[in-house]
């Protein structure tokens, strides 16, 4: 096609773009994917029956503080990498803060408990499935983010895929909290983080192929 | 040079607000810039230059939400142009030499330099070819006067005089246009 014809065609369709469009688009992808994840939890796993009771105690909120802060930080990083000219992350080590905070809480918990209980706290009842669940529940959110990226322009595809996977993992974990009754911080620190890391790794692996434009 | 960036950015911001005319102006103004950019990088006779130019135009259009109006427009545009070029080579299974990649990816003010280059080319085109050639050899390619004389096949004093006159003419022109 001739270039001036192309320009004519493109200029026919110029809807206004809201400010912060990148952030909104990512948020929309996560919310869309998150609905599918919530649906899957409701249908296949079920919400934990004592959810409203649990929400009054600290353990539930410690879990959420961890996964949500990780989710927000990784969306922020993804939004940066979604622009072609802002490839570098300003402070990637910030992402380690939630991890460090949770490790601190875990250490305090362990000190207060008799060493005989440590193994049980670490493995909980569901350590075998927890990481896999977080990983699987992150998949719809990752797909939602792939939709977001169709209007975005990452130039470092592996990094962008990695942070998108991290965001999907963190939000998948956040929703998994609605099902998972585990309470100890070191359980979350180990098995949730493992699932989130798997999601991030998968994102980094797939990024160069799926995020091309 | 500043006005170019300024103008492009104004059109871009206009397009983001839904002004189709500004958007069309922007796309049209980008065509020669992109052609010059790719000719310089891929060789002037590469047959895929027009494809790349069109791909960038489509990306500038469909992914314009990623432009942040507080940042320079040139940097955004050239980041897209560079990505499209690397992607093109990758699709062809051709490897981009690592040295070039480093040069492309890491030079902090690469974008500014490229825009300045395009502007420099435009300015030099206004001079007689002899003067332009002499300036290019000594001031842009960094040759010594003797090497430049060898390359163009002129005497050394001829090169010196050409550079001197050319720069003077450019300075006069710049003062005139500002």
pLDDT single digits (tens) A15-38:
999 888 999 999 999 999 999 999
Q: Which residues from chain A sit within 8 angstroms of residue B20, using beta carbons?
A: 11-12, 14
Q: How far is A140 from chain B (nearest CA, A)?
A: 23
pLDDT for position B116: 65
State in words which class domain B126-178 has.
mainly alpha
Q: Does B15 touch chain A (CB under 8 A)?
A: yes
Closest residue of A to B50, CA-based? A3
CB contact under 8 A, A84 and B19: no
Helices (H), chain B: 2-16, 20-42, 49-62, 73-91, 98-106, 110-124, 129-135, 145-152, 156-177
pLDDT at residue A173 is higher than 60:
yes
Mean pLDDT of chain B: 80
pLDDT at residue B177 is higher than 80:
no
Predicted structure pTM score: 0.76
CB contact under 8 A, B83 and A84: yes
Domain ranges of chain B: 2-108, 126-178
pLDDT at residue A121 is higher than 70:
yes
CB contact under 8 A, B65 and A7: no
The residue-averaged pLDDT of A65-71 equals 95
Over residues B24-58, the pLDDT tens digits come to 999 999 999 999 888 888 877 778 889 999 999 99
CB contact under 8 A, B79 and A84: yes
Query: B2-108 domain in CATH 3.90.550.10?
Result: no
Helices (H), chain A: 3-10, 21-40, 51-54, 58-81, 96-112, 118-123, 127-149, 157-176, 185-187, 193-210
Q: Which residues 78-117 of chain A have a CB within 8 Å of chain B?
A: 82-87
Q: Which residues from chain A sit within 8 angstroms of residue B31, using beta carbons?
A: 3, 7
pLDDT at residue B98 is higher than 80:
no
Q: Which residues from chain A sit within 8 angstroms of residue B23, using beta carbons?
A: 10-11, 14
Q: Does A7 touch chain B (CB under 8 A)?
A: yes
CB A31 within 8 A of CB A144: yes
**Pairs of CB atoms within 8 A across A/B:** 81
B2-108 matches B126-178 in fold = no
pLDDT for position A54: 84
Which pLDDT band holds residue B168 (cuts at 50, 70, 90)?
A: confident
Q: Does B59 touch chain A (CB under 8 A)?
A: yes
Provide CB contacts within 8 A for A61, sequence distance 6+. Answer: A55
Over residues A127-162, the pLDDT tens digits come to 899 999 999 999 999 999 999 999 999 999 999 999
Decide if the complex's ipTM is over 0.90.
Answer: no
pLDDT at residue B113 is higher than 60:
no
Closest residue of A to B111, CA-based? A85
Spatial distance between the Cα atoms of A117 and A111, rounded to a whole number of angstroms:
11
């Amino acid at each position: 096609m001739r270039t001036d014809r192309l320009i004519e065609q493109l200029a026919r369709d110029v809807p206004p773009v809201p400010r912060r469009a990148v952030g909104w688009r990512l948020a929309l992808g996560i919310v869309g994917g998150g609905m599918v994840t919530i649906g899957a939890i409701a249908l296949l796993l079920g919400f934990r029956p004592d959810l409203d009771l649990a929400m009054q105690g600290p353990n539930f909120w410690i879990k959420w503080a961890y996964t949500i802060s990780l989710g927000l930080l990784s969306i922020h990083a993804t939004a940066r990498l979604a622009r072609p000219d802002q490839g570098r992350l300003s402070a990637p080590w910030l992402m380690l803060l939630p991890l460090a905070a949770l490790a601190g809480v875990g250490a305090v918990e362990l000190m207060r408990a008799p060493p005989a209980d440590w193994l049980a706290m670490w493995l909980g009842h569901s350590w075998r499935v927890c990481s896999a669940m977080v990983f699987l529940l992150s998949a719809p959110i990752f797909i939602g983010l792939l939709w977001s990226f169709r209007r975005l322009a990452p130039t470092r595809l592996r990094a962008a895929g990695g942070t998108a996977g991290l965001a999907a993992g963190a939000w998948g974990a956040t929703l998994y909290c609605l099902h998972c009754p585990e309470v100890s911080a070191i359980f979350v620190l180990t098995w949730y983080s493992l699932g989130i890391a798997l999601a991030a790794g998968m994102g980094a692996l797939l990024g160069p192929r799926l995020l091309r434009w | 040079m500043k006005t170019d960036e300024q103008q492009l950015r104004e059109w871009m911001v206009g397009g983001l607000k839904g002004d189709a005319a500004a958007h069309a102006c922007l796309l049209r103004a980008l065509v020669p810039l992109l052609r010059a950019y790719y000719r310089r990088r891929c060789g002037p006779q590469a047959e895929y230059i027009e494809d790349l130019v069109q791909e960038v135009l489509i990306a500038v259009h469909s992914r314009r939400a990623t432009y942040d109006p507080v940042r320079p427009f040139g940097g955004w545009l050239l980041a897209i142009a560079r990505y499209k070029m690397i992607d093109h080579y990758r699709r062809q299974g051709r490897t981009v030499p690592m040295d070039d990649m480093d040069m492309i990816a890491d030079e902090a003010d690469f974008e500014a330099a490229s825009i300045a280059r395009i502007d420099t080319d435009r300015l030099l085109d206004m001079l007689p070819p002899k003067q332009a050639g002499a300036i290019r050899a000594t001031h842009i390619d960094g040759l010594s006067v003797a090497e430049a004389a060898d390359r163009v096949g002129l005497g050394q004093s001829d090169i010196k005089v050409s550079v001197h006159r050319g720069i003077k003419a450019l300075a006069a022109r710049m003062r005139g246009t500002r």
